Structure 1
Amino acid sequence: MYSDRALVIGAGFTGLLAARVLSESYGDVVLVERDQIAPDTEHRAGTPQAHDPHTLLARGAEVLDTLFPRLGAELEYVGAVRADVGSDFLIRSAAGWAPRDHVGLSVLSTSRATIERIIRRRVLKLPNVSLVDGVTIDGLLHDRGTVTGVHGRREAPPSRNTVRDAVSADTTFTDYADLVVDASGRNSKLVSWLAELGVHCPAPMIVNGHLACSSRLYHVNPDLKLDWKTAREFTHAPTTKRGGAVASVDGTHWFVTLFSAGGEAAPTDEDGFLSHATALECQDIAEIIKTATPASPIHHAGNLRSRWNRFHKVPNWPRGLLALGDSVVSLNPVHGHGTTLAALNCADLQTLLHDHDLAKEPQLFQRAVAKAAWTPWTSATTHDLGWSTRRRSPSARFAQWYARRLADVIPHSKQVYRACVRVSQMVDHPTALLRPAILSRVLAGRGLAGRVLSGSRLQARER
């Protein structure tokens, strides 16, 4: 099927991937972006999370390499750091250190600005994709249950003539399309726009673990001889309220992120940043802060939460409209699933467009978005609900109990750790953690896991 025109609201990571997919099925694809985008754009106001490190999970990297062949090699060329999620990761949970064992799954660690710049350059080279920036969308155009376009305001371009600037004003923006795709992110106004059309959405599901984080970029200090590429120390309800992470990004920098849970404030000043890191078990994080040269201010984000707009349950969802990425499911960014979930949404979009006119059957896609969201949503909210005082459902209580048992066993069992890594990287389904070999170790606790591990080491020595 080949239709005429698709319009994507938002030219960030999700919007760029959506435009790449739509370019296969639509003759003209237009990206409409609120921010002004120049070739050397680094951090945009529309992506405040760009000040935090972005690690592409293994499953997300697979999707991106399908959409953009050799993207991984291109990112490595500009400095992205590839690391094995077992041997190159230093992981600390409440129960102890995870095994440093080669898992065979690698991830790329890079900045949000770098990956957006590389992908944007590729997408805008496509002959049927164009970008209109400096546009704020105020609502949807519609006709008898079908979205036909968007309306908004376009910021007047700056000029060197100050007199002209004084009298210039934003201009009205209107554009029509056969398909409108909302990829405007966690600050999307889609629910309000739909209400204006008489389409009312169910209340979103919101889980707030009252997490906060502070991040800072540092120049790599070559005098620090570290035997890892990424380090992470997790919070753990209800006792361990402080955590931290370091990722090597773009070849020459470390991204240090310190996070707090259970309502505890994350540091916002120099002394607090170092004090938080010094209290962690992973002292390498404090050493970086003490000895490395800062390359950015401290950026703080508070009240981090997860929200799910259940668009797949709207019975009168209009034709000609799709939503994906953070505009549907925005996950607590501390858990790192957002970019991978957006990539999975675009993979589903590509598959469904082969056999369906989604402008006429939009709920096929919204149901696919909901299905893809279930696993990362469950993972993120299981952790965050541990800090909540609200009564939880039996399934949520079981998930939290089992997650605690897993955490207790991980330091003592390479097999359990590998299984957890594959699930966390979204390569395996969470049911893999219920296989008999894993279940028996988890239910028996760390004692059995330790004996099994010791026995396997003894057998290895005998061989």
Structure 2
Amino acid sequence: MYSDRALVIGAGFAGLLAARVLSESYGDVVLVERDQITTDTASNIPASKCAVHSTTGYRPGIPQAHHPHALLARGAEVLETLFPRLGAELEDAGAVRADLGSDVISRVPAGWAPRDHLGLSVLSTTRVTIERIIRRRVLKLPNVSLVDGVTIDGLMHDRGTVTGIQGRRDGEPYTDYADLVVDASGRNSKLVSWLAEHGVHCPAPMIVNGHLACTSRLYEVNHDLKLDWKTASEITHPPTTKRGGAVSSVDGGLWFVTLFGAGGDVAPTDEDGFLAYAATLECQDIAEIIKTATPAGQIHKAANLRSRWNRFHKVPNWPRGLLALGDSVVSLNPVYGHGMTLAALNAAELRHLLQEHDLAKEPLTFQHAVAKTSRIPWTSATTTDLGWSTRKLPLRTRLRQWYGKRLFEVMPGNRQVYRSYVRVSQMVDHPAALFRPAVLLRVLFRALFRLVSGRRPRAKQR
């Protein structure tokens, strides 16, 4: 057995952040990854070459990398504390910074949201690029190493304590021991079954299936199109707005186009069908890009998107020496873009708690913190997804849905309401900001107007 040693299962986004944090408290941190990883420790790749790296470097463990990944403003803030000047490094590698007001056009069911400078920006990049740059940073740490090509079959366990992992590598048995094992293996984690093998049984996960689908493709930027935005989006919204789409400038010379479908609608993966679906949207810029830009990759589809919460914080005999974070605990419908930010918040909480706790001996302290951090994004994602459900929902959920629908009706004509919504959706402000008098009164006034007049608000033009 080793002392002062931590193992992280999974070298994806959440695993890399966990390793970065653990490197401050453990003498030896090992990332154990199923996929083969091509280690990139070279200097920054010029923006002119980013398009090549954005269409290669995909691996089986992150199939969702073929679709856009949003790093919310709150997530970017946390990452900057873990990796100083990460934002500047991403921009040097071609990431596109966009102000969420002036650089974005956004279509909600009631019309186009206002456009003015919000002073709140995000970086648009591909999952491959951000993971590559963070991996390079993490593996430069002297006490962090990577072992790839490992298929983990289970945990080693001794009298209520996880002592390591066992599996196979290159067809040979593989074992490794540690004082702390962290599961960051993502939404396909097998941790629940691994624990059951040792008599540790978890409550059934909470699952909300939004029955959403997204179909995506990368395109080379067509500079002949004179567009006045960096990101454009059109959202789906239950129960009637079943189609949506988004396009963002990423990695210097690419557009990431995604078409959304809900309530049974799914964008086709053939060329003609993909374009025809986009042509049904109000945001015609998306169809124009598909018609005129050069594809930089294949069309990829992800369907039946759902959210799942493994309630590890409610396991009374949770073993010592084991933590779980990221998608292995809470995997949210990726359409809403919470995943990377939630993983960053988990890492920040891990860093904070390690300053005062021996989490190998007090693991539930961390699992409770993960649960607390997850509640707001979970409620946000699942409240929307439950709008497509045909069963009767709890009163609290129906009230949230009612208020959300009225909020979207007010948004196109009110800059203050839209500003509040953006800050909450970026997890910068607490959702309570949407119930401040300046917002609440406008929402209730619009609802009263609709009730008295019997008219729906007319969609605002772009």
| Deviant stretches of 4+, over 4 Å | 446-449
Q: CA deviation at 1:56?
A: 1.2
CA offsets, 1:85-120, max 9 Å, x none?
111111001110000011111100000000000000
Report the Cα distance in structure 1 between the residues aligned to 2:355 and 2:267, rounded to whole angstroms. 47
Q: CA deviation at 1:184?
A: 0.1
Q: Which range moves more in the overlay, 351-360 or 264-273?
A: 264-273
1:113 corresponds, among 104, 128, 141, to 128
Q: Which amino acid aligns with 2:14?
A: T
CA offsets, 1:374-406, max 9 Å, x none?
111111111111101122111111110110010
Report the Cα distance in structure 2 between the residues aligned to 1:440 and 1:238, rounded to whole angstroms. 25
Report the Cα distance in structure 2 between the residues aligned to 1:114 and 1:403, rounded to whole angstroms. 34
Query: Alignment partner of 1:319: what SS?
Result: coil
Counterpart position of 2:374: 373
RMSD (Å), alpha carbons = 1.2
The answer to whether the aligner puts 1:37 opposite 2:37 as a matched pair is: yes
Report the Cα distance in structure 1 between the residues aligned to 2:408 and 2:288, rounded to whole angstroms. 26
Counterpart position of 1:232: 233
Counterpart position of 1:53: 68
Counterpart position of 1:324: 325
Query: Alignment partner of 1:418: what SS?
Result: helix
Match runs of 1:212-231 below 5 Å = 212-231=213-232
Report the Cα distance in structure 2 between the residues aligned to 1:145 and 1:247, rounded to whole angstroms. 48
Counterpart position of 1:72: 87
Query: Alignment partner of 1:236: what SS?
Result: coil
Report the Cα distance in structure 1 between the residues aligned to 2:393 and 2:338, rounded to whole angstroms. 23
Are the aligned partners of 1:181 and 1:323 in contact in 2 as well (CA < 8 Å)?
yes
Q: CA deviation at 1:268?
A: 1.4
Q: Which amino acid aligns with 1:151?
A: Q
Are the aligned partners of 2:406 and 2:446 in contact in 1 as well (CA < 8 Å)?
yes
1:89 corresponds, among 85, 95, 104, to 104
Report the Cα distance in structure 2 between the residues aligned to 1:445 and 1:422, rounded to whole angstroms. 22
Counterpart position of 1:394: 395
Query: Alignment partner of 1:445: what SS?
Result: helix
Report the Cα distance in structure 2 between the residues aligned to 1:118 and 1:242, rounded to whole angstroms. 34
Query: Alignment partner of 1:152: what SS?
Result: strand
Report the Cα distance in structure 1 between the residues aligned to 2:448 and 2:148, rounded to whole angstroms. 59
Provide closer, same or farther for how the CA distance between residues 351 and 448 of structure 1 changes in structure 2, counting only shifts above 3 A. Answer: farther
Match runs of 1:13-412 below 5 Å = 13-39=13-39, 42-154=57-169, 156=170, 170-412=171-413
Query: Alignment partner of 1:191: what SS?
Result: helix
Q: CA deviation at 1:313?
A: 0.6
Report the Cα distance in structure 2 between the residues aligned to 1:390 and 1:148, rounded to whole angstroms. 45
Q: Which amino acid aligns with 1:4?
A: D
Report the Cα distance in structure 2 between the residues aligned to 1:447 and 1:107, rounded to whole angstroms. 36
Counterpart position of 1:164: none
Give the percent of matched residue pairs that are identical in Structure 1 and Structure 2: 78
Provide closer, same or farther for how the CA distance between residues 145 and 126 of structure 1 changes in structure 2, counting only shifts above 3 A. Answer: same
Report the Cα distance in structure 2 between the residues aligned to 1:55 and 1:251, rounded to whole angstroms. 16
Report the Cα distance in structure 2 between the residues aligned to 1:189 and 1:200, rounded to whole angstroms. 13
Are the aligned partners of 1:180 and 1:320 in contact in 2 as well (CA < 8 Å)?
yes
Are the aligned partners of 1:56 and 1:340 in contact in 2 as well (CA < 8 Å)?
yes
Report the Cα distance in structure 2 between the residues aligned to 1:179 and 1:448, rounded to whole angstroms. 58
Are the aligned partners of 1:260 and 1:266 in contact in 2 as well (CA < 8 Å)?
yes
Report the Cα distance in structure 1 between the residues aligned to 2:361 and 2:96, rounded to whole angstroms. 42
Query: Alignment partner of 1:54: what SS?
Result: coil
Unaligned 5+ residue runs, structure 1? 157-169, 450-463
Counterpart position of 1:167: none
Q: Which amino acid aligns with 1:326?
A: D
Are the aligned partners of 1:441 and 1:448 in contact in 2 as well (CA < 8 Å)?
no
Report the Cα distance in structure 2 between the residues aligned to 1:448 and 1:351, rounded to whole angstroms. 48
Q: CA deviation at 1:55?
A: 2.4
Counterpart position of 2:46: none
Report the Cα distance in structure 1 between the residues aligned to 2:32 and 2:141, rounded to whole angstroms. 16
Counterpart position of 1:12: 12
Report the Cα distance in structure 1 between the residues aligned to 2:268 and 2:120, rounded to whole angstroms. 33
The answer to whether the aligner puts 1:416 opposite 2:417 as a matched pair is: yes
Q: CA deviation at 1:18?
A: 0.3
Are the aligned partners of 1:409 and 1:446 in contact in 2 as well (CA < 8 Å)?
no
Report the Cα distance in structure 1 between the residues aligned to 2:116 and 2:317, rounded to whole angstroms. 51
Q: Which amino acid aligns with 2:151?
A: T
Are the aligned partners of 2:70 and 2:338 in contact in 1 as well (CA < 8 Å)?
no
Report the Cα distance in structure 2 between the residues aligned to 1:103 and 1:7, rounded to whole angstroms. 42
Query: Alignment partner of 1:239: what SS?
Result: coil
Report the Cα distance in structure 2 between the residues aligned to 1:95 and 1:446, rounded to whole angstroms. 13
Q: Which amino acid aligns with 2:264?
A: G
Are the aligned partners of 1:9 and 1:31 in contact in 2 as well (CA < 8 Å)?
yes
Q: CA deviation at 1:445?
A: 1.1
CA offsets, 1:415-445, max 9 Å, x none?
0000000000000000111111111011111
Q: CA deviation at 1:266?
A: 2.5
Q: Which amino acid aligns with 2:141?
A: L
Query: Alignment partner of 1:82: what SS?
Result: strand
Report the Cα distance in structure 1 between the residues aligned to 2:166 and 2:392, rounded to whole angstroms. 43
Question: Matched residue pairs, number?
Answer: 433
Report the Cα distance in structure 2 between the residues aligned to 1:329 and 1:349, rounded to whole angstroms. 16
Unaligned 5+ residue runs, structure 2? 41-55, 451-462
Report the Cα distance in structure 2 between the residues aligned to 1:219 and 1:266, rounded to whole angstroms. 21
Provide closer, same or farther for how the CA distance between residues 100 and 446 of structure 1 changes in structure 2, counting only shifts above 3 A. Answer: farther
Q: Which amino acid aligns with 2:331?
A: S
Query: Could you tell me the TM-score, scaled by structure 2's length?
Result: 0.92
Q: Which amino acid aligns with 2:16?
A: L
Q: Which amino acid aligns with 1:323?
A: A
CA offsets, 1:268-323, max 9 Å, x none?
11111001100000000000000000000000101000000011111110000000
